[in-house]
């Protein structure tokens, strides 16, 4: 039950789709590739996530850009204990399960953002200063 509550909270805090704040002009040629490049070159997980949020389309293309943000965040992730890695996998599985029966690119976007929120949560928990 606790995992369900956590996933619900993560999903509700997902991106509010707002292309007006995206640093890449929309619509433009190679929009997704340009957003992906900015995300990959970001100096932190936080800035990569902000770009993914700001440039979200609420459609299947978000899977690409959010995937880039997750990869960027994972570069900052410390080595996880077996327990942490297991919980990380469990929460990511919950994201996939939640949207597995829903059709449409909007749900793929929501699933991708759920995975990003899990990644940001774990990065935050594992790197917090004491």
* Ramachandran angles phi, psi of 99, nearest 5°: -105, 5
Q: In which band, very low, low, confident or very high, does the pLDDT at 8 lie, cut at 50, 70 and 90?
A: very low
Q: Other CB atoms closer than 10 Å to residue 2's CB: what's the count? A: 6
Q: Are 49 and 124 in contact (CB under 8 A)?
A: no
Question: Cα–Cα distance between 19 and 76 in angstroms, integer?
Answer: 26
Q: Which domain holds residue 57?
A: 2-127
Range of lowest pLDDT (5-19, 22-36, 91-105):
5-19
- pTM of structure: 0.83
Q: In which band, very low, low, confident or very high, does the pLDDT at 18 lie, cut at 50, 70 and 90?
A: low
Number of domains in the chain: 1
Q: Nearest to residue 15, comparing CAs of 111, 83, 91? A: 111
CB-neighbour burial class of residue 63 (10 A; exposed 0-12, middle 13-18, buried 19+): middle
């Amino acid at each position: 039950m606790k995992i369900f509550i956590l996933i619900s909270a993560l999903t509700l805090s997902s991106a509010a789709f707002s292309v007006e704040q995206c640093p890449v002009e929309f619509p433009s040629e190679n929009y997704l590739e340009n957003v992906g490049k900015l995300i990959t070159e970001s100096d932190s997980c936080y800035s990569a996530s902000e770009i993914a949020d700001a440039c979200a389309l609420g459609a299947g293309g978000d899977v690409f850009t959010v995937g880039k943000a997750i990869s960027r965040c994972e570069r900052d992730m410390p080595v996880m204990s077996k327990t942490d890695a297991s919980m990380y996998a469990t929460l990511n599985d919950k994201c996939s399960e939640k949207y597995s029966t829903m059709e449409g690119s909007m749900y793929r976007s929501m699933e991708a953002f759920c995975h990003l929120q899990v990644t940001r949560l774990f990065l935050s928990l594992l790197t917090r200063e004491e």
